[in-house]
Structure 1
């Protein structure tokens, strides 16, 4: 029945500024109206809606104003440089400075590498690459470089 996620939405304070930001991420603008824009994430399969609204003042919580995009492992290895080349700063997350990112979140069920950054309105964005299912270890965070040293 369910095949994947088709769309997600974020609040923004200035649609035109946000459109320029999301274009930097190489997303294709699919539709634009007065206070709404859609970007293709995977053309014909998934997209992101941006809504210009005062709801952008809703405080951040992981259940609100957060999107994680699936990327390949090779892409996550280059993500920090890619984002920095576009003038997008890395967010210090879980106490990991940008020098230690991408970081690995390892839970008993899975492990994935991730790097975090924000859009102009403070919506938390994440690039995420799966590493392994059924890790069987405790929840330990480390840099991707440390993961590679322990798992290669």
Structure 2
């Protein structure tokens, strides 16, 4: 099921300074917002997430104890059953109530979250091809919602 490392995360004190630093190292920005930036380590395979803010320096945040593993999209559709079969604790992401895998069209990926015995945040992720007319969808969609949207 696991194909490789999808992402790792680091807290930073100055996002702009860190962006400059990682660009000097030859990394390309994959995605960013006001408080975070993601750089391709290997384009379309793995990235590094940088997070700026006091909450990342002074208290626990999932980005500080988080690793995401790459899996295939077809495996993502069966990830809940696979994890449950192994008696792994599946958890919702952020404010979501559902533990179902979901798609982020604006980032071109899908995820499901779970925890190790120490409550470290783990994630299965896969890339999804996003047609140009769906690239601006900012919602997190269930796999079923995503596939229905693709059929339209």
Could you tell me the TM-score, scaled by structure 2's length?
0.55
**Over 3 Å off, 4+ runs:** none
- Asked if residue 129 in structure 1 is aligned to residue 113 in structure 2, the reply is no
- Counterpart in the other structure of 2:139: 140
Question: What per-residue deviation string (whole Å, max 9, x for no partner) do you get for residues 14-52 of structure 1?
Answer: xxxxxxxxxxxxxxxxxxxxxxxxxxxxxxxxxxxxxxx
> Aligned pair in 2 of structure 1 residues 70, 127: CA closer, same or farther (>3 Å)?
same
- Asked if residue 73 in structure 1 is aligned to residue 70 in structure 2, the reply is no
Shift of 1:59: 4.9
SS of structure 2 residue aligned to 1:128:
strand
> What aligned pairs does 1:34-45 form with structure 2 within 5 A after superposition?
none
> Aligned pair in 2 of structure 1 residues 59, 81: CA closer, same or farther (>3 Å)?
farther
Number of aligned pairs? Answer: 96
Q: Partners of 1:79 and 1:85 in 2: how far apart?
A: 10
Q: Partners of 1:119 and 1:106 in 2: how far apart?
A: 27
Q: Partners of 2:69 and 2:116 in 1: how far apart?
A: 14
Shift of 1:62: 3.6
> Aligned pair in 2 of structure 1 residues 147, 115: CA closer, same or farther (>3 Å)?
same
Q: Partners of 2:60 and 2:74 in 1: how far apart?
A: 30
Q: Partners of 1:76 and 1:143 in 2: how far apart?
A: 11
Q: Partners of 2:115 and 2:137 in 1: how far apart?
A: 28
- Counterpart in the other structure of 1:84: 84
> Aligned pair in 2 of structure 1 residues 62, 106: CA closer, same or farther (>3 Å)?
farther
Task: Flag structure 1 segments of 5+ consecutive residues without an equivalent.
Answer: 9-57
- Asked if residue 117 in structure 1 is aligned to residue 118 in structure 2, the reply is no
Could you tell me the TM-score, scaled by structure 1's length?
0.55
Shift of 1:60: 3.3
Task: Flag structure 2 segments of 5+ consecutive residues without an equivalent.
Answer: 9-57
Does structure 2 conserve the Cα–Cα contact (< 8 Å) formed by 1:60 and 1:123?
Answer: no
Shift of 1:113: 1.2
